[in-house]
Amino acid sequence: MTGGGEAPEPPAGAGARRVVWRFLDGIPGHENQTLGLVRALSEHLPVDVHAVTASTAGAALRHWLAATFPPGATLPGPDLLIGAGHHTHLPMLAARRARGGRVVVLMKPSLPLAWFDLCVVPMHDSPPERDHVIATRGVLNAVRTSADHDPEAGLILVGGPSPHYRWNGQDLIRQIESILQRDTRQWTLATSRRTPDASAEALRQLRQPALTVVPWQETGPDWLTQQLARASHVWVSEDSVSMVYEALTCGAACGLLEVPQRRASRVSRGIRRLRQDGWITPFTAWEQGAALRSPPEPFNEARRCANLIARRWLDV
């Protein structure tokens, strides 16, 4: 499925606008990844971004066979086609065959890697070493590194049971109470959709003058980004893997609230590697005297990937 037209040469000059087709599958986590890469690309040069809703696999296959792409018929030809999630793969390949451009997939695809121009794959998915594969620490996100952290502001992010982690609400409360007793910062705590009702209620009942509890229902689309930009110290429950990487991206010192694993998995391997490399501090280590520290070096995987794409394809 690699046939169907060569990618057009980008316009000369770093100031020329590039056209990006951003493929959306309706899953917020996937769309947050593509948003992060598009925003990082926009730091290099002007980009015109066009959202394309991913069609069904059957429709995409028909489009590929006919070398047409009706969903993009009115759009300018793309320099880049970017998508995350399996449902975006066939539509992007069909669009490239009809209109050109280079396909960037933000995951380890189920289709052959050689069909894509660039694969951005988290290290925990064991990507192969190939010229068109970039291995990243976790998935990309849209958070930006902040220079305005308030040393007196802390943030606690609580998740819930997941396919990779079980839940122990009582032990989680114990960890949070210990943090509040020993660290006198002003803390904001947010629950998530996955937080069990009993745990959410127990958190609301915490009576600490330095704590504000915000139920997830009261957080807007930009709430987390604003809080991460402000907090100097962030504790994240271990199941909330994407939030761990977002906290590191914003530049905060990050601690890990420990929850029991269901089993060893690619996700838990990624978290274990962050612990081993000193990017995050587990609660047990903190309880024994280890300090939360800011990332040992800048952590912004979306920006790193955008730098590589800009140098390789966009003449920047």
Three-class DSSP labels, 219-280: CCCCHHHHHHHHEEEEEEECCCHHHHHHHHHHCCEEEEECCCECCCCHHHHHHHHHHHCCCC
How much is the average pLDDT of 52-59? 96
How much is the average pLDDT of 265-289? 92
pLDDT > 90 in the chain, percent: 80
What 287-295 contacts at long range (C-beta under 8 Å, 24+ apart), as own/partner pairs, is 287/178, 291/253, 292/233, 292/253, 292/254, 292/255, 293/253, 294/251, 294/252, 294/253, 295/248, 295/251, 295/254
How much is the average pLDDT of 104-128? 94
**What does the radius of gyration of the chain's CA atoms come to, in whole angstroms?**
21
CB 262 within 8 A of CB 164: yes
* Exposure b/e, 173-187, CB count within 10 A at least 16 = b: bebbeebbeeeebeb
Give the separation between CA 88 and CA 81, rounded to whole angstroms: 10
Q: What is the pLDDT of residues 197-207, one digit of tens each?
A: 999 999 999 98
Q: What is the pLDDT of residues 11-44, one digit of tens each?
A: 344 457 899 999 999 998 899 999 999 999 999 8
Place of tokens 């269901």: 262
Any idea which of 5-9, 242-246, 284-288, 306-310 has the lowest mean pLDDT? 5-9
What 287-296 contacts at long range (C-beta under 8 Å, 24+ apart), as own/partner pairs, is 287/178, 291/253, 292/233, 292/253, 292/254, 292/255, 293/253, 294/251, 294/252, 294/253, 295/248, 295/251, 295/254
- pTM of the prediction? 0.85
Give the separation between CA 96 and CA 4, rounded to whole angstroms: 7
Of 9 and 224, more confident: 224
Give the chain's domains with CATH numbers: 18-142+302-313 (3.40.50.2000), 150-287 (3.40.50.2000)
Instruction: List the one residue out of 209, 52, 39, 222 whose CA is nearest residue 140.
Output: 39
Give the separation between CA 173 and CA 22, rounded to whole angstroms: 41
Rounded to the nearest integer, the mean pLDDT of the chain is: 92
